[in-house]
Each structure stands twice: as structure tokens, then as C-alpha cells.
Amino acid sequence: MPLAENQPTNEKSILLKRFFHRGANQIGLLFEYDKELIAIAKSLNARWTRTHKCWYLPEEESTKHKIMNAFRGRAWVDAKALYGGREPVVKTIENKPESHRTKRNKPELVALPEEFLELLKRRRYSPNTIDSYCSVFRAFAAYFSPKHPSEITEHEIKRYLLKLVDKDKVSYSTQNQTINAIKFYFEKVLGHEKRDFWIDRPRKESKLPEVISEEEVGKMLNATSNLKHWCIIGILYSSGLRRGELINLRIGDVDLDRKQVFVRGGKGKKDRVTILSESLINQLLIYLKKYKPKYWLFENTKRGKYSAQSVLNVVKKSGRMANIARTVTPHMLRHSFATHLMDHGVDTRKIQVMLGHNSIKTTAKYTHVSKNDFHKIKSPLDQIQTDNKLVNNNLKQQRI
């Protein structure tokens, strides 16, 4: 890490940076792996982000002061990048011992265009989209540093995307999101003419949704002793909610009398209404009486929103406790909700409305994993077994 001006050469250093993460501005702490510094960061209730590869705290008026006090005499804190008017872009910095890091993991600061983040906010992109766009564009800008992003050529962009596929082996979604972020910068921020031909889209993957069985959902609930966690899993599955929709639920969004859940500003900023399990209502009443949430249906210890990571941890842990072989995620519960409804003959159009899909084609993908039609089809092997008893006889002769 470059030394700050007038920094003693024998002192540990910490670089502060501002970035947007989990729907809010954060202050990141970048430093070489050091157990003492990590312990101090944790004492400030700092959290680690894999996306930005640093420890971070919510940006508040007192945050910088707290950091300075905590590390005084232990490390040199460089805060110049915080209020320099341009957000620093940081290449990957791994919080691992020196032996596990290479030179390319050292931080390299470049300027992320202010107008990029400002336009995303003005256009009211969702916090998750803003976070994702900034993350992939940081990596893109850092790769060509010190060249300014506006000076990057079409040939260089194509070369970078090829690197993502061939060398970095990124997923289809990461590649596509990088393309979206680059196009947003050149077309929306810089005002260049819209040209689809200069960035080749990856061939769209056709993956079937991952689901678990109704029996496995039951096992997860039976394995969950924490009432709050039980209600989280129950609503995710019984209402088909996305993780972000769950943590944004207000107490008033759950109508116990009408057995409905009102989803505000779901994907695509669309409101919708979905069902609420009748068997869940009694548990929710007990939960509300015991935990007494003030505003959000599920709150953390500071009465703020329950975090997306906490929801993921709850679901994963429940899946492990239920001895389910696969790692269960909140979105798998949403997929299972739709698939199980289809198994029981619920109309696809109604499922589409409850899931909030724009197109019926998106909902129709669940027909590929639903057993509603398949259970009526007889396997050709079963037909042979029925028509030709010799198959069974031969098998019996081979048994020991």
C-alpha cells in the first residue's frame, strides 16, 4: 500500500475509502493482514465485505472520529481519499496472511467517475443494482488504470471481457452485469450513441430452478428452534418472497386477517400481493408479542432492517440441521414455493402474479421441474417390467 504523506516507514497503515454497499454509504478500512488491526476493527463493530475486500462501518458523522481514536498509536490512518471529491477504486486486496497474497492483490487507487454513481442514484436504481454496477465497474476501471475510463477503446473493452471469460472464469451473470455497467457509463453517463454490436452478449444460460421437496421444507422447519428464524423460513417459502423483499417487509405489510403479504417495490420497483400461510399466522402472533418489532417485521438488535446476509445464514443453517445434502438458499425456497404450487395444480398465471414475474414465460420454467404432469407418465422401463416378466425373473436369479 502506498505510504501516506509524512507517514513513518515503520508504522502500520490504514487507508479509508468511501463506497456504496448494502443500500448505504460505508467507510472501508484497507490494510495489510494484521491480527491486531483486525481485532481493533471488530471492536468497532466493523464487518468484512467479500465484494469490496475490506472491513467497513456505516458512514456517520462520528465514524471517522471513532476510527482515528481506535487506531491512534497503533496505525497511521490515511483519510485523504475519503473527502477528496472522487471515490477511490481499489483492486482486490485479500485479508489473508502474506504467504497467501501476490503482488497483483495489492491495492491500486484509481478515480471512479463521480457522475457514474450520481446518475445511478438519480435514476433510482435499486441499492443492490447500484452496489453491483459499482463493484464490476471498479474492477473494469482499475484494470486500465491510470487510463481514465472515458478513454478506454472498444477494442480494449472487448479484450477485457474476453479476459473475464477465459482467465477469470466469471459466471454468465457477472459477465452480463459487467456489460450492463460499461454500457451504462458510455451511453448514459457520457452520452455516446447506443451500439449493441460493440459488446457481444454471452449466450443466455438455460438453467432449471433448484428446488427442495415439501418433505425437506418440513424438516427444515422442524429443525429450527428459534422462533424468529422459523418465521423467516416460513414466510420465504409460504409467500414466495425474494430475500430483499423479506427484509423490506414492514409490520403493516402482513395482513393476518386476509392472509396476504403486501410486497412493496419488489424487483423492477413493482408492488404486488401474495399469499400468507394460515398455519404461519399463530406463530407470527407469538413472534410479534415476544420480539415486539417497532417498524420492520424482522429487525436486528439495533431495530434496523435484518440483513440479507443474516437471512442467508438462517436458511443455510436450517438446511444443514435438517441434513439436506444440498446448500439451501432463500431463493431455493422461492423456487420451491412456485414448483409445489404447480405440483398441486395451481394455475400458472396465478403463480406468475404471486411471484411478480413480468412474463408468463419466466413462470413457465417451473413446469420443467414440477411433477404435476410427469407422475402420470409411465417410464418405458416400467412398461417393459409389466409386459415382460422375464426381466424380474432374471433379476431374481442373480440375487444372493
Which residue ranges make up each domain of the chain? 1-109, 113-205, 214-368
Element (H, E) at 40: helix 35-43
The pLDDT score that the predictor gives to residue 88 is: 44
Cα(262)–Cα(133) distance, rounded to whole angstroms? 28
143 has catalytic annotation: no
In order of 94, 129, 161, 178, 349, the CA distances from 170 in angstroms are 18, 18, 10, 10, 34
334 has catalytic annotation: yes
Nearest to 24 by CA among 55, 46, 66, 56: 56
343, three cell numbers: 405440483
pLDDT over 70 percentage in the chain: 77
Question: Which stretches of the chain score pLDDT less than 50?
Answer: 1-10, 84-109, 390, 395, 400
Strands 76-78 and 87-90: unpaired
Q: Which of 91, 334, 335, 340 is catalytic?
A: 334
The pLDDT score that the predictor gives to residue 322 is: 94
Q: Count H helices, E strands: the chain?
A: 16, 10
357 has catalytic annotation: yes
Contacts of 312 (CB under 8 A, 6+ apart): 243, 329, 330
Strands 76-78 and 13-21: parallel
Contacts of 117 (CB under 8 A, 6+ apart): 20, 87, 130, 134
Contacts of 93 (CB under 8 A, 6+ apart): 30, 53, 54, 105, 106, 107
203 has catalytic annotation: no
The pLDDT score that the predictor gives to residue 199 is: 65
Is the bond leading into 107 cis (omega within 30 degrees of zero)? Answer: no
Report, in angstroms and rounded to the nearest whole number, the Rg of the chain calculated over CA atoms.
Answer: 26
220-271 pLDDT per residue, tens: 999 999 999 999 999 999 999 999 999 999 999 999 999 999 998 777 678 8
Nearest to 108 by CA among 82, 88, 131: 88
Q: Which of 21, 242, 243, 305 is catalytic?
A: 242
Per DSSP (E only), the strands in the chain are 13-21, 24-30, 47-49, 54-58, 76-78, 87-90, 109-112, 254-255, 260-263, 272-275
Cβ atoms of residues 114 and 150 within 8 Å: no
Cα(375)–Cα(132) distance, rounded to whole angstroms? 41
- Work out the burial of residue 372: count CB atoms within 10 Å of its CB; fewer than 13 is exposed, 13-18 middle, 19 or more buried: middle
155 has catalytic annotation: no
229 has catalytic annotation: no
302-351 pLDDT per residue, tens: 888 899 899 999 999 999 999 999 999 999 999 999 888 888 888 888 98
Cα(53)–Cα(34) distance, rounded to whole angstroms? 14
3-state secondary structure of 89: strand
Place of cell 429487525: 299
pTM recorded for the entire structure: 0.57
Question: Candidates 2.40.50.140, 1.10.10.10, 3.40.630.30, 1.10.150.130; correct CATH number of 113-205?
Answer: 1.10.150.130
Question: Candidates 1.10.3720.10, 1.20.1250.20, 1.10.443.10, 1.10.10.10; correct CATH number of 214-368?
Answer: 1.10.443.10
Cβ atoms of residues 297 and 285 within 8 Å: no
Cα(295)–Cα(304) distance, rounded to whole angstroms? 9
Element (H, E) at 57: strand 54-58
Q: Which of 74, 259, 267, 317 is catalytic?
A: 267
